[in-house]
Structure 1
Amino acid sequence: MTKITVAESAGFCFGVDRAVKMVYNELGKNTRVATLGPIIHNQDVVNDMLAKGARVIDSVDELQPGETVVIRSHGVGREVYEKIAEKGNRMIDATCPFVSRIHKIVAEMTGKGYLVFIAGDALHPEVQGIVGHCSQKPIVFRDNIELSDIFAKSGNIFKKPLAFVAQTTYNIIIWQECLKMIPKDDPNIIIYDTICNATEKRQSDAAELARNSDIMFVVGGKHSSNTVKLSEVCSRYCTTYHIENSDELSALKLPDADRIGITAGASTPAHIIKEVFLAMTEYENNITNPEEEVFDEAAIDKSFKKIHTGEKVKGIVVSVGNAEITVDLGTKHTGYVKLEDLTDDPSKKPADLVSVGDEIDLIVIKVNDAEGTAALSRRKVEEQEGYEKIMKAKEEGTVIEGVVQHVVNKG
């Protein structure tokens, strides 16, 4: 029997979902909308928007009077904002919040005199937008091989203050190879973790599914950077086909397979993934008896679930920095825990307390749904547990021990 499995993390990410909803919301108001470039790299979605009255323009110069311009999730450079302001058109900024964070980082670091390195595709609109927020010319490199060449040809480069960022959809495996080449203990070098959690989750899930599949289908736009990278990841482990929709399946000569996996890029709506799943099920029915696999559209989208201030959640540590850690909450939110919310011991650093892969309990301090971020605290969990321990000891009449931290007058 053939088993067909859909990756749980397949499909729309937070930033793309947010951008698409912004456009449809304006179209629903009969607003004249022009998107600066395709809102996402998915032609089916773009065609639907065009049918509803939107226009796709390549330059601010193409804007017509009275049109509302939407900046897509990839973001743009500062000069584009200035041109729109000069034009006087209403603007809606659908830049992914995780991309906006990189804009702020590179603007700040180049302003301080740092030479910024950007890992990514120099021709990709996201990277071009990041470059457009640098006040000094940055260095863009595609992979670890190109980075090695840059280091070899620039012998004095480590005498300068350096800052490293990566395109949000950058290949995690290649990024890890790049990190091995960068000195870890140099105080003049700052490395920022800017690969989106959703990207990391999608790539790791795809790799795991590909390892256990004979064939993988990666569904998404041919010009979608994150979908192309998904295809690269899957092709390391099994025969992989990158398709945009179910219409492309009929032209493929597929080998026999007992295990078929399906994943999709961040710009692929759930209904397109479902169509591929159903088409593959029908195809396999004509050959053999596929193992029944229920397509749960809600499961693909379950990571959009809400979290609330004061809620206790579990998170997996995905990165450890000098002043904060990043955690995966299993939602579309990226969770951050600042050092002061991790411990009250001033002598400790995040690396002394947690490691990548650790699962920890946290309290939600603040949720920003618009930006897809959540501020979290481990200290509040410990305080809550400490209070519960004291109350239990009081009820049971038991003795508890503690460590003196401060001595004050009369106490």
Structure 2
Amino acid sequence: MRVEVAQTAGFCFGVDRAVSTVYRLLEEGKKAATLGPIIHNPQVTGDLAARGVRVVSRPEETPPGYTLVIRSHGVPREVEEKARSLGLSYVDATCPFVKKIHNLAERAGEQGQVFLLAGDKNHPEVQGIVGHCKGENFVIKSSEELVELLKNHPELEKKPLAFAAQTTFHAGEWEKCAETLKKLCTNAAVFATICNATARRQKEAKTLAQRCDRMVVVGGRDSSNTAKLREICAEYCEAYLIERADELPVFSAGLSVGITAGASTPASIIKEVLATMAEVTNNEQNFEEMLEESLKKLNTDEKVHGVVVGISPTEVYVDVGRKQAGFIPAGELSNDPNVKPEDVVKIGDEMDLLIMKTNDQEGTIMLSKRRVDAMKGWDEITEAQENNEILEGKVIEVVKGGVIVLYKAMRIFVPASQATASRGEDLNELMGQEVRFRIIEVNRQRRRAVGSIRSVLREERKAAQEKFWEQVEEGQHYTGKVKSLTSFGAFVDLGGVDGMVHISELSWNRIKHPSEVLSVGDTVEVYVKGLDRENGKISLGYKRPEDNPWVKLEREYPVGTVCDAKIVGMTQFGAFASVIPGIDGLIHISQIADHRIEKPQDVLKIGDEVKVKITDIDFDRHRVSLSIRALLEEQKAQEDEEAAQAPAEEVVYSTEAPAQEEESAAEEQE
């Protein structure tokens, strides 16, 4: 028979801390009472009872002179307030991981979020968490219950939610719940609060059960996390839950047996089970050495290897194979201040980390990924400097005197003088851009690396210029970007080479400055009008022939056309009127009216809208002659013709006319 033991077994940090608190009180000669059983293990609770430790269900049941110990599961806020109001001497041994969920529950209510908890509503830990909620809250124990909850409360899909889990919740079921919530709710903040020791313990139990014929789970039958371990193992092989070594079943020869233990199982019981198994199999298991290894303290600045077991908006939870709980603050995950943890890592990722700080009281380790990455990066950028290598990074900050480029985990400072192709360009336009650069200075002592974007841009521009001049011909069309404007034209970047559009080429209409047509940064379609290869100058055309107003005039306004025109200028000999944008015609003073006038202002003023007839067009000299008189004469001629063609009126003579006139006069008088 082959026996294999899970690496993670025995007391988790929270349980060990609570049990140690009670034993420490006893060693100090104090009397202790626990608010509920301090641990779900009959051997430990039996030993404590034999030493005089009392178990109470409410703070007011605490005997006089006893110190009350709040167990690792935690309690509702009102229980803590009750203990204080009674003036009791008490020690709060709530697991730090559970305390964190208490804070989440309180903050959710304060921020108007609905608090959703995955767990067993009858478990003391869950009851304690719910007791810290300040707003609407719900408890679900499966993805099916979550779907049912959202079905019965459809309004939750639109409300802001905060979703967390009991520290000993089934890791697989938690992933299902989180995925379900992600699909159904778009306004939910998900916090991975399963204890990393629990998550690792469950993962190891699953892996062990998949390759073993039988599994033995050691722990108290009232322990939630021990029961979950058995459930996980039972999915893959026959599993047994035992509290003591004498409950071990008899296994057939040739079987492979895996052993794991819950977080409430003392090391002494685990060693007893292993000793019993060793006697049966003659297989020596040095579990004590493994236990000591897992309890080994970690030193600050030490490198460790970790696995991501949870992700929240503010930190990443990492299993580093020790009793302490590892976490990486978002700021220590990457040098990019705008990045989100979920964009950098995912559950199951393995990485090298640097220990920043240990907290033995809370059993946590603060870790850094970016610093390890940065340490690796120094060798890389030093080598890149020596080889004059071109690197690629993202501009993440615009600072005084330059920009910061993030290359992997390294922050590279690029001075303003080295950040753009020419001086004076706006550095803010580089923000968020991917850029190519070289390392020009490395100072490890000062932790400073300096780069140059300009050196790469100049090389790229030179290469682009050479390629451009090899291929360019007059008449070719290009898409370019307006680089600058002057009083005489616009300079356009054609991709490494600048060409100029003269102001006369910007519009068919007369303009005073290029800014009337273009702005710096505009993307324009241009064509090559002329090339000066010797001096490297390019003349560009921007006006399209089809937009030429004289072409439009010839096509749409032949001689004889009557159209509306606007008076735009006056002279002694006539008035100028705009026929179409870009073309003004002259109405000679003799053509303004059908009678003699002294000056154009006698009839017209600037801004008048008039009907004119095009009487002549000189395309060579770009002149248009207009007439109002022609239209007036045509109108008069038409009226005379209509009058000549009208029938004569019939005249009726009557002897009664005077009488009728007298009658009409009488009527008017009345």
Report if TM-score (shorter chain) is over 0.5. Answer: yes
- Which has the higher Rg, Structure 1 or Structure 2? 2
Secondary structure of the equivalent of 1:175? helix
Q: TM-score, normalised by structure 2?
A: 0.57
Q: How does 1:247-258 map to 2 (within 5 A)?
A: 247-249=246-248, 252=249, 258=255
Whether 1:268 aligns to 2:259 is: no
Secondary structure of the equivalent of 2:157? helix
Decide which moves more: 25-34 or 184-193. Answer: 184-193
Q: In structure 1, what is the Cα distance between the partners aligned to 2:204 and 2:284?
A: 18
Q: Is the 8 A contact 1:214 1:257 kept in 2?
A: no
Q: In structure 1, what is the Cα distance between the partners aligned to 2:338 and 2:111?
A: 28
Whether 1:163 aligns to 2:154 is: no
Whichever residue aligns with residue 71 of structure 2, its letter is R
Whichever residue aligns with residue 174 of structure 1, its letter is E
Query: Which residue, 294, 309, 316 being the options, matches 2:307?
Result: 316
Q: Is the 8 A contact 2:308 2:316 kept in 1?
A: yes
Q: Is the 8 A contact 2:157 2:186 kept in 1?
A: no
Q: Which residue of 2 aligns with 1:360?
A: 351
Query: Which residue, 265, 275, 278 being the options, matches 1:278?
Result: 275
Task: Give CA-to-partner distance per residue, 1:94-124, whole Å, 9 cap, x none.
Answer: 1010000000000110121211111111111
Q: Is the 8 A contact 1:72 1:94 kept in 2?
A: yes
Secondary structure of the equivalent of 1:182? helix
Q: Is the 8 A contact 1:4 1:291 kept in 2?
A: no
Q: Which residue of 1 aligns with 2:465?
A: none
Secondary structure of the equivalent of 2:221? coil
Q: In structure 1, what is the Cα distance between the partners aligned to 2:111 and 2:156?
A: 17
Whichever residue aligns with residue 204 of structure 2, its letter is D
Q: Is the 8 A contact 2:157 2:184 kept in 1?
A: no
Whichever residue aligns with residue 45 of structure 1, its letter is V
Secondary structure of the equivalent of 1:79? helix
Distance 1:187 1:149, change over 3 A: closer
Q: How does 1:216-365 map to 2 (within 5 A)?
A: 216-249=215-248, 252=249, 258-282=255-279, 285=280, 290=281, 292-365=283-356
Displacement of 1:29? 1.0
Q: Is the 8 A contact 1:131 1:137 kept in 2?
A: no
Q: Which residue of 1 aligns with 2:212?
A: 213
Unpaired segments ≥5 residues, structure 2: 394-402, 405-412, 419-670
Secondary structure of the equivalent of 1:169? coil
Unpaired segments ≥5 residues, structure 1: none
Q: In structure 2, what is the Cα distance between the partners aligned to 1:408 and 1:184?
A: 46
Secondary structure of the equivalent of 2:149? helix
Decide which moves more: 17-26 or 376-385. Answer: 376-385
Whichever residue aligns with residue 362 of structure 2, its letter is E
Displacement of 1:23? 0.8
Secondary structure of the equivalent of 1:157? helix
Larger RCO (CA under 8 A, 6+ residues apart) = 1
Displacement of 1:93? 0.9
Q: In structure 2, what is the Cα distance between the partners aligned to 1:225 and 1:293?
A: 30
Q: Is the 8 A contact 2:192 2:310 kept in 1?
A: yes
Q: How does 1:68-147 map to 2 (within 5 A)?
A: 68-147=67-146
Q: TM-score, normalised by structure 1?
A: 0.91
Displacement of 1:236? 0.5
Task: Give CA-to-partner distance per residue, 1:263-311, whole Å, 9 cap, x none.
Answer: 11001011101212222344xx4xxxx3624232120342222112222
Two-structure CA RMSD over aligned residues (Å) = 2.3
Q: Which residue of 1 aligns with 2:197?
A: 198
Whichever residue aligns with residue 273 of structure 1, its letter is I
Count of paired positions: 400
Q: Is the 8 A contact 2:199 2:309 kept in 1?
A: no
Q: Percent identical across equivalent pairs?
A: 46
Q: How does 1:35-46 map to 2 (within 5 A)?
A: 35-46=34-45
Q: In structure 1, what is the Cα distance between the partners aligned to 2:417 and 2:52?
A: 73
Q: Which residue of 2 aligns with 1:20?
A: 19
Task: Give CA-to-partner distance per residue, 1:138-178, whole Å, 9 cap, x none.
Answer: 21112122222111211222121111111000011111111
Task: Give CA-to-partner distance per residue, 1:191-248, whole Å, 9 cap, x none.
Answer: 1100000001111111111112211111111110000000100101111111111132
Q: In structure 1, what is the Cα distance between the partners aligned to 2:380 and 2:178?
A: 43
Displacement of 1:390? 6.2
Distance 1:359 1:130, change over 3 A: same
Distance 1:148 1:184, change over 3 A: closer
Q: In structure 1, what is the Cα distance between the partners aligned to 2:184 and 2:142?
A: 22
Decide which moves more: 321-330 or 86-95. Answer: 321-330
